[in-house]
Structure 1
Amino acid sequence: MSKKKNTVIELRYYEKPIKEPVLAMLGESWIREYGKDTNGEMINNLHFHNLMEIGCCISGEGEMILDGESKKYKAGNFTIIPINFPHNTVSKKGTKSYWEYIFCDPEDILNRAFPNNRPFVESTLKRLNSKVYFCHSEKEPELYSVIKSIFEEMRNKKAYYCEKTIMLCNSLFFEVARKNTSDTSAETEYRDMSVISAAISYIGKNYAKPIRIKDVADSCNMSETNFRRLFSAYMGRTPLEYFNLIRINKACELIKSTLYSMEDIAMKVGYSQMSTFNRNFKKIIGESPYRWKRNPANFESKLLKASVSTKKGW
């Protein structure tokens, strides 16, 4: 299956719980007909995440679209999908599949283990983020065993589960990085999305700072004109619009999880003027931040319903 040109790629944005090593999505609530939205409509767009996605298929069958390539999945398949890698999961028509997921930030986990060795962390991240793994437990039993151990630690949460999960994640990262130096049989390389993936990472790390579009273009080694054209083609919106989407997503998380004043939140996500913050919040979410804060029902549903390319997870 070849990817259509100029397809809008969605960001599904996740926040890892502050006191947890990873975000775990486990249990029977993840039995569903993948590839359809809450209204039963087919989702045709690829999406990507701000965190690494590690998934295991417990039951069911269907196909995964990995940067435009179609791969059939069944029980026992697992995936290791880097940050910013376009993909989609579609159950066999009329059936449900059971997937479980772990979302993690490899940079954060590696930095915890190697706080004084930045070159090592960066070289490992480069290998981790250059490939996607789509494998079956029968062909890669070692990787599968480590992944299942991570899942079980997060499911059972026994004493020292945070520390053990971090150790297991590092073990998984090293095994994947090692394979990326020699084994290409189970890997799919970045293609089209790679040209702007550096920009997505740059914006994600620097959203609270004043950023010029030229700075973002430089992170991709492009001219500003070419960067604007390519970014808009892949993302369906301009770099500035995407930049504001990230800022407002961060603002929503702070509204939900902190007692900061709205003025402080605006400053923390990069808006020096409340009028600019309020205008962008209302444009993206559909109502003012104050009104959104007063309505708890909005916390889980409003971003999903917003007619934008950024979605708050599933």
Structure 2
Amino acid sequence: MVFFQKHGVNEKDLFRFFSLRNYQFPYHFHRAYELIYLNDGQLSVSIDKKEYTLNKNDLAFVFPNQMHEFKTIDCSDITIVLFSPELIGDFYMNYKGMIPEDNILHLDNIINFNKLDSIYGKKSFLYSLCDMLVNHTSFIPSKQSTKTKVLYKMLLFIEQNYSNDCTLKKAAKYLNYDYPYLSKLFIQQMGMTFTEYLNNYRISQSCYMLKNSNLSVSEIAFNCGYSNLRTFHRNFRKMTNMSPKEYRELD
């Protein structure tokens, strides 16, 4: 499953939503806009290294190519919405190259995503959020340093290759950069090694598959790049404090 990065690249009318419980996902980015809506619980969200704590009915409005991650605090029930910039074309063109100073909206009413069944309803909903955001915060130019652009290439390489034999050595060769430079840059920018992030990414993908597919644990491990089932179980427990089976059965 391609979880995030490629969304919004080719699908001009993309509007996809799904729910996740007690979930976390490491730093990532994509061309699509993303909404992270908290139905219940608490969630820690980091957007371009700015930390936010979301409570019930809070919504994070993530812009295209903004680096972001989220982690559950105790427990969380969230809805993720991914949609293409073309769905809000006027807003996208007016604020292209800009990002909000504050990505968080505090909503008064509960959102029923199941009622957004027509293109007009979806656009109306999205533009109402755009209006709220414009009235809520100011916007600043999005700045991408050379190091950030290289990091984006590395994260995209992981997204495209995590299910196979994905190593920093192969990434360096593919991107035509020196291995020591990429290793140092990744640690500086992400606060962890390439391998640590890769394991984090793979386990996050496996968590989603455990909750949203009928694949066996061994099939999921293989699909997430683990040829050794014991290694998968060890890394899974290290990150979630439970076994894959316990996670799948968790309400």
Say whether the 8 Å CA contact 1:21–1:165 is kept in structure 2. Answer: no
Aligned position for 2:143? 189
Which of 205, 217, 229 is the matching residue for 2:172?
Answer: 217
Q: Distance in 1 between matches of 2:69 and 2:238?
A: 27
What is the DSSP-based 3-state SS (H/G/I as helix, E as strand, rest coil) of the residue aligned with 2:34?
strand
Superposition deviation, residue 286 in structure 1? 2.0
- Note the 1:216-295 alignment, pairs <5 A: 216-218=171-173, 220-294=175-249
- Note the 1:1-314 alignment, pairs <5 A: 21-23=15-17, 48-51=27-30, 52-53=33-34, 67=48, 81-85=63-67, 103-104=81-82, 106=84, 131-134=97-100, 155=112, 160-161=117-118, 163=119, 186-191=140-145, 192-218=147-173, 220-294=175-249, 296-297=250-251
Say whether the 8 Å CA contact 1:278–1:288 is kept in structure 2. Answer: yes
Q: Distance in 1 between matches of 2:18 and 2:81?
A: 6
What is the DSSP-based 3-state SS (H/G/I as helix, E as strand, rest coil) of the residue aligned with 2:142?
strand
Say whether the 8 Å CA contact 1:131–1:190 is kept in structure 2. Answer: no
For structure 1, list consecutive stretches of 5 or more residues without a partner in the other structure: 1-12, 26-46, 56-64, 70-77, 89-100, 114-126, 137-153, 172-184, 298-314
Q: C-alpha root-mean-square deviation of aligned residues, in Å? A: 4.7
Say whether the 8 Å CA contact 1:54–1:80 is kept in structure 2. Answer: yes
Structure 1 residues 212 and 156: CA distance shift in structure 2, 3 A = closer
Runs of 4+ in structure 1 off by over 6 angstroms are 165-169
Q: Quote the sequence identity (%).
A: 22
Q: Distance in 2 between matches of 1:218 and 1:87?
A: 27
Q: Distance in 1 between matches of 2:228 and 2:173?
A: 27
Say whether the 8 Å CA contact 1:81–1:133 is kept in structure 2. Answer: yes
Superposition deviation, residue 134 in structure 1? 2.8
TM-score under structure 2 length normalisation: 0.54
Corresponding letter in the other structure for 2:198: F
Q: Distance in 2 between matches of 1:240 and 1:249?
A: 14
Q: Distance in 2 between matches of 1:156 and 1:22?
A: 10
Superposition deviation, residue 80 in structure 1? 5.5
For structure 2, list consecutive stretches of 5 or more residues without a partner in the other structure: 8-13, 20-25, 37-45, 51-59, 71-78, 88-92, 103-110, 128-138
Q: Distance in 1 between matches of 2:62 and 2:246?
A: 39
In the TM superposition, what whole-angstrom CA distance separates every residue of 1:114-159 from its partner, at most 9, and x where no partner exists? Answer: xxxxxxxxxxxxx9xx9443389xxxxxxxxxxxxxxxxx857558
TM-score under structure 1 length normalisation: 0.45
User: Across the two proteins, how many residue pairs are aligned to each other?
Assistant: 185
- Structure with more strand by fraction: 2
Say whether the 8 Å CA contact 1:86–1:193 is kept in structure 2. Answer: no
Query: Computing the radius of gyration over CA atoms, which structure comes out larger, 1 or 2?
Result: 1
Say whether the 8 Å CA contact 2:34–2:81 is kept in structure 1. Answer: yes
Superposition deviation, residue 165 in structure 1? 7.2
Q: Distance in 2 between matches of 1:83 and 1:221?
A: 22
In the TM superposition, what whole-angstrom CA distance separates every residue of 1:236-261 from its partner, at most 9, and x where no partner exists? Answer: 11101111111111111111112211
